[in-house]
């Protein structure tokens, strides 16, 4: 049955999409699209039995008006991430645990889904542009790769934006860790949240933002709108990639510079990935206290070097040692988060930057350890 549906869809898809596009001005909501899909099935496959016809109809409707086979997984609020390695192999991250899910589709169908999403943000996805970053309507980040880059592709990765708890307890903090973080926010310390992929950096960043007094003005800078807060004085800036003509780029660095002219009490950088690190360091060292950011790192002792290295990507001719010095004087606390094998995310350590008497060192200050396993 699945092969029959797959073959039928291949025949129907171009005809249905062509009719939908040609009658765009005449469409009256989803009913008209349904009529087109149904009529094409009736005309092209009159001998299909009722069950096969219904399956084909549902699959085509999902392709035309949704995201095809991904719809059921995108709509599942318990799934954090979707990873497709081939037309028959998919993995999902559900609350920190990764499981394989059986799927049966084709490379052509996956490419059509990616192209549809890419077109929605003015991007291309074809052999000339085989890598695309795009965003779904719900804010989830979508990354697609196809041949010649993908050997077994196309590949898809979707990092979903889901409602997050704003309670520190979800990270199983010790009493000391909790007191340190609440006090650091109150005293406007500059905090870096560090960790590996899917360790909970953005979630903890959201939680810390929740602790900021409502009277303060917050300006956030992100590549994807992942930070969410009910804070009344919250201004969100989102970077923009170039369009299909290669123009229109607005970098994270551009937004950090813009944020400093917006009278922020706090600057929040969702994740430092490139040359915007230098602009952030300028902010941290020119009186923008209480700023927060996250960064990929394998441990708290790597954070200083990591941020300084990213600052080099700006192209500025600044000696590396001078950048390291700026990090030491700009950052107050490093909070390192980690995902355990059972899916739990914990605050593994909190470290303070010691710069007294000419010293430059990272000192762990949360001696009491969590007993979460």
Q: Is residue 196 part of a domain?
A: yes
Structural domain harbouring 269: 168-364
Q: Looking at the structure, tell me whether residues 83 and 46 fall in a common domain.
A: no
Which of the listed residues 16, 49, 65 is the one where a domain comes to its end?
Answer: 65
pLDDT digits (tens, 9 = 90+) for 290-331: 999 999 999 999 999 999 999 999 999 999 999 999 999 999
- Output the pLDDT for position 11: 64
| pLDDT for res 324 | 95
- For CA atoms 281, 287, 288, 292, give the dihedral sign: positive
- The secondary structure of residue 250, as a DSSP letter, is B
Final residue of a structural domain among 122, 139, 161 = 161
Query: What is the structure's pLDDT at 140?
Result: 79
The CA distance from 38 to 48, in Å, is: 13
Count of domains for the chain: 3
| Residue 279 shares a structural domain with residue 359 | yes
Give SS3 for 228.
Answer: coil
Residue 99 falls inside a structural domain: yes
Together in a domain, 119 and 260: no
Q: What's the number of CA atoms in the CB half-sphere (13 Å) around residue 122?
A: 10
Instruction: Answer yes or no: are the C-beta atoms of 366 and 349 closer than 8 Å.
Output: yes
Residue (of 310, 337, 338) closest to 323 by Cα position: 310
Which of 161, 188, 204 is a domain's end point? 161
Residue 373 within any structural domain of the chain: no
Say whether 141 sits in a helix, a strand or coil.
Answer: strand
The whole-number pLDDT of residue 370 equals 61
282 and 327 co-located in one domain: yes
Please indicate, yes or no, whether residues 353 and 274 belong to a single structural domain of this protein: yes
Does residue 256 share a domain with residue 186?
Answer: yes
- The ranges of the chain with pLDDT < 70 are 1-33, 47, 59-66, 162-165, 242-246, 358, 369-373
Indicate yes or no: pTM above 0.75: no
User: Can you give the CATH number for the domain in which 340 is found?
Assistant: 3.40.50.300
Q: Is residue 372 part of a domain?
A: no
Is there a single domain that holds both residue 47 and residue 101? no
Q: Supply the DSSP symbol for 261.
A: T
> Could you tell me if 125 and 255 lie in one domain?
no
pLDDT at 104: 77
Q: What is the CATH number of the domain that holds 78?
A: 3.30.450.90
Residue 131 pairs with which residues in a beta bridge? 145
What is the chain's alpha carbon radius of gyration, rounded to the nearest angstrom? 24
Residues 74 and 56 in one domain: no
d(CA 200, CA 262): 29
319 plus 205 within the same structural domain: yes
Does residue 196 sit in the same domain as residue 332?
A: yes
* pLDDT score recorded for residue 96: 75
In this structure, are residues 327 and 362 in contact, taking their beta carbons and an 8 Å threshold?
no
Tell me the HSE value of 287 on the side-chain side, using a 13 A CA sphere.
Answer: 4
Other Cβ atoms within 10 Å of 308 Cβ, number: 22
Instruction: Tell me whether residue 371 is in a domain.
Output: no
> Domain for residue 106, yes or no?
yes
Q: Per the domain annotation, does 324 fall within a domain?
A: yes
Do 228 and 297 sit in the same domain of this protein? yes
């Amino acid at each position: 049955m699945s092969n029959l549906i797959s073959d039928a869809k291949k025949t129907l898809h171009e005809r249905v999409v062509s009719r939908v596009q040609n009658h765009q001005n005449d469409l009256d909501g989803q009913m008209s699209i349904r009529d087109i899909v149904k009529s094409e099935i009736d005309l092209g496959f009159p001998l299909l039995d009722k069950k096969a016809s219904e399956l084909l109809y549902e699959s085509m409707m999902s392709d035309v008006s949704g995201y095809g086979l991904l719809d059921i997984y995108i709509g599942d609020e318990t799934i954090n991430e979707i990873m497709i390695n081939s037309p028959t192999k998919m993995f999902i991250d559900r609350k920190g645990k990764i499981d394989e899910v059986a799927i049966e589709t084709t490379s052509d169908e996956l490419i059509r889904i990616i192209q549809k999403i890419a077109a929605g943000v003015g991007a291309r996805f074809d052999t000339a542009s085989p890598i695309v970053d795009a965003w779904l309507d719900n804010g989830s980040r979508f990354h697609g790769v196809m041949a010649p880059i993908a050997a077994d592709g196309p590949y898809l990765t979707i990092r979903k934006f889901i409602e997050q708890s704003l309670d520190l307890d979800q990270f199983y903090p010790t009493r000391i860790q909790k007191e340190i973080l609440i006090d650091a926010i109150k005293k406007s310390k500059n905090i870096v949240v560090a960790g590996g992929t899917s360790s909970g950096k953005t979630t903890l960043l959201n939680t810390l933002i929740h602790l900021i007094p409502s009277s303060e003005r917050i300006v956030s800078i992100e590549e994807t709108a992942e930070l969410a807060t009910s804070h009344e004085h919250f201004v969100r800036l989102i970077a923009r990639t170039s369009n299909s003509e290669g123009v229109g780029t607005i970098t994270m660095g551009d937004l950090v510079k813009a944020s400093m002219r917006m009278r922020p009490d706090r600057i929040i950088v969702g994740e430092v990935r490139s040359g915007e690190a230098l602009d952030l360091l300028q902010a941290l060292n020119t009186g923008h206290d209480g700023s927060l950011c996250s960064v990929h790192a394998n441990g708290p002792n790597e954070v200083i070097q990591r941020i300084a290295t990213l600052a080099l990507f700006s192209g500025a001719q600044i000696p590396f040692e001078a950048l390291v010095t700026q990090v030491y004087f700009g950052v107050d606390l490093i909070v390192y988060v980690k995902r355990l094998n059972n899916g739990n995310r914990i605050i593994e350590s909190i470290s303070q930057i010691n710069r007294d008497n000419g010293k430059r060192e990272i000192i762990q200050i949360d001696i009491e350890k969590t007993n979460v396993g």
